[in-house]
Structure 1
Amino acid sequence: MRIAMWSGPRNLSTAMMYAFGNRADFAVWDEPFYAPYLKATGANHPMRDEIIAGHETDPIIVAQRCLDTIPDDKPHFYMKHMPHHMITGFPLDWARDCINIHLIRHPARVIASYGAKMDHMSLEDIGFPQQTALFEKLGGIVIDSADIRADPERMLRKLCDAIDLAFDSAMLHWPIGPRSEDGIWAAHWYNAVHESTGFAGAEGDLPEIETAYSPILKEAELHYEGLIERKLT
């Protein structure tokens, strides 16, 4: 089994990678198209030079590896992907041989969290239109991060059932600290999850968003609402 988990940034995606990576039967891969995206776009992200130097930057090679032999001879492969990394010209046919899962989060929470790490953002930076486009092209399963945080075992069991995978309680907890599968960018982005040993509890009220980001929020909500209608419940 090969899983392509698609989500925008600040969306429980690293915790989900840790959950699957804590199973003995899964190898995981952290954002394999991030370095190709940075090299191709010139996007000014934290640790850009280190990421490009430390990870494969050819999208064709990365795409081939998505379907290559699974690392460590594991039976299953979990790949954490971000829709906005798949820019025009990057191969996508490989994803048709995967189980595609779309992890979503309310855009107000994404904007607030992303803004705490980046000085600037656009709608495209947080990936909502790209995720809609990928869902329309690939289909797949939609799951809301809020539902996972509210009841991790229930939702992970439902997700495993939906993809015909036996649930493993190892998905609910993981060792504190960094993991060997982390991308180089973990030093900037993964502080909170490195301090965790499992999924955080249910979130509170939606955060207030700066007026400057109101247009982004409005557009992102349209994409979020289109996907949430299809979510796993």
Structure 2
Amino acid sequence: MQTLRLAMWSGPRNISTALMRAFENRADCAVVDEPFYGYYLQATGLDHPAGEAVKASMSCDWREVARQLCEELPATADRDRCTLFYQKHMTQHILPAMGMAWTDGLVNCFLIRQPRRIIASYARVRPEFALEELGFVQQWELFQRVADRLGAAPPVIDSAATLADPEGVLRALCERVGIPFSAAMLSWPAGSRDSDGVWAPHWYAAVEASTGFQAVNEQPLAEVALPPQCEAMCEQAEAIYARLSAHALGSAARG
């Protein structure tokens, strides 16, 4: 049975886990949650919640992880039904030492969100950080690599458009990657999953309580304040976002 391997590349403070829930709720799909997280922590030495448990739970060799993603299925997969392997990736986990040729064997997609909202949210937790820690630069570089190889832009979805019109955006995404849309993607049971990373108790409270995509009334973008030292970073990130959002699927307003 041939399996389509779909890699969704996102930065932090996005709807990446909810999107993973949507795909996992399909009868034909298995998922993996941030498979390079262990490598990222091992290589950077960053102190994250449950960091030691994260590293112990997966391979920290990026080459071995890449091989698994291209050749194997996760332990949670129903091998009699799995024709789709959804990979939730964080672009900040892409480090300079990693080669990216392995991604040529995947269907690469990109999840984006307005940078000012991401940076404001992240700055409340970590006041000192670099743009690379949010994955914008890595996301754009990978997008360019994929587009150059394909000769066309790969699929991009925007979190705001997805929350405003989940069915419309997910239908468009499924059509682009050549899989049937399933209404099961629009809702899911509350709770944790065996496929969740060991870091889930520290980060996934909101998604564990959710049963579907929930549109929120966000603060108007013009009113989202940033620490002064983040404004230049935001300007760089917004230039990348503008290039990516030009290719976003769905017609709902973004912001």
Pairing of 1:13-28 with structure 2 (within 5 A): 13-28=16-31
TM-score norm. by structure 1 comes to 0.94
Pairing of 1:120-135 with structure 2 (within 5 A): 120-135=128-143
Equivalent residue number for residue 167 of structure 1:
181
Equivalent residue number for residue 222 of structure 1:
239
Q: Which amino acid aligns with 1:96?
A: D
Unpaired segments of 5 or more residues in structure 2?
148-153, 251-255
- Picking from 3, 8, 22, the partner of 2:6 is 3
TM-score norm. by structure 2 comes to 0.87
Equivalent residue number for residue 143 of structure 1:
157
Judge which range, 67-76 or 55-64, deviates more: 67-76
How far does the alpha carbon of each residue in 1:98-117 deviate from its partner, in whole angstroms, 9 at most, with x for none?
A: 11101000011111222344
Q: Which amino acid aligns with 2:10?
A: S
Pairing of 1:35-74 with structure 2 (within 5 A): 35-71=38-74, 72=77, 73=79, 74=82
2:121 matches 1:113: yes
2:186 matches 1:186: no
Counterpart CA distance in 2 for 1:147 and 1:103 is: 11
Counterpart CA distance in 2 for 1:121 and 1:194 is: 28
Pairing of 1:194-205 with structure 2 (within 5 A): 194-204=208-218, 205=220
Equivalent residue number for residue 84 of structure 1:
92
Counterpart CA distance in 2 for 1:110 and 1:221 is: 11
Judge which range, 196-205 or 100-109, deviates more: 196-205
Equivalent residue number for residue 210 of structure 1:
227
Q: Which amino acid aligns with 1:155?
A: V
Instruction: Work out which of the two has the higher radius of gyration on C-alpha atoms and give 1 or 2.
Output: 2
User: RMSD in angstroms over aligned alpha carbons?
Assistant: 1.5
How far does the alpha carbon of each residue in 1:103-148 deviate from its partner, in whole angstroms, 9 at most, with x for none?
A: 0000111112223443532211111111110101113211111100
Q: CA deviation at 1:83?
A: 1.6
